[in-house]
Amino acid sequence: PLFDMRADDAVNYGAIGATIGHEISHGFDNMGSQFDGDGVMRQWWSEADRQTFAALGARLAEQFNAFEALPGKTVNGQLTLPENIADLVGLQIAFKAYQTSLNGKPAPRIDGYTGEQRFFLSFAQSWRVKRRDEHAQQLLISDPHSPPEFRANGAARNLDGFHDAFGTQAGDKMFKPVAERVRLW
């Protein structure tokens, strides 16, 4: 459901590209760093790299802790951290791949949207879901994945490309100041 042969590259990179990037990134995150290239449990990060990554992860966890999924119920940023990292990195990788695919040429405007805007809209649409509050509450305390709306918005607001594509400004709901954006790779 995340790939459509009839869709333009921006749409496919935003949906399936971000998902592929998400899965690949798990091999290089706080969990994947515990296993070497042969799958042997051996720490291959330097201590300095681990500390830097932990500090960035803590900043990302703080961002997700602030998302209120249900009245009075917030996301547990530490529980969901590995998946939030993968969402952010997957989106970063897919956006870079999409830009590279353009070979320096601008993407065409389609239905009034730039290629970059279609990329991010597609990413957001890939997280569409319907659920009852009771189920959402159950998932909030047991699922290592953030609720879908926060997976979409939490990752996107950390990418400069998102802000450039939509011209966000202070006061906009999705705006995040440059100094507060988490960049992992």
Q: For residue range 39-94, what is the model confidence (pLDDT) as tens digits?
A: 999 988 899 999 999 999 999 999 999 999 999 999 999 999 999 999 999 999 99
User: Which residues are CB-contacts of 78 (< 8 A; sequence separation ≥ 6)?
Assistant: 61, 65
Q: Which of 29, 83, 87, 116 is catalytic?
A: 87
Please confirm, yes or no, whether 23 is among the known catalytic residues.
yes
Return d(Cα 15, Cα 123) in angstroms, integer.
Answer: 5
**Residue 48, helix vs strand vs coil:** helix
For residue 185, pLDDT over 80 is answered with no
Q: How many residues does the chain have?
A: 185
Reading the block at residue 151, the tokens are 């997976």
Q: Which of 23, 36, 49, 62 is catalytic?
A: 23
Nearest in space to 14 (alpha carbons), one of 180, 176, 179, 161:
161
Give the CATH superfamily of 9-180. Collagenase (Catalytic Domain) (3.40.390.10)
Mean pLDDT score of the chain: 96
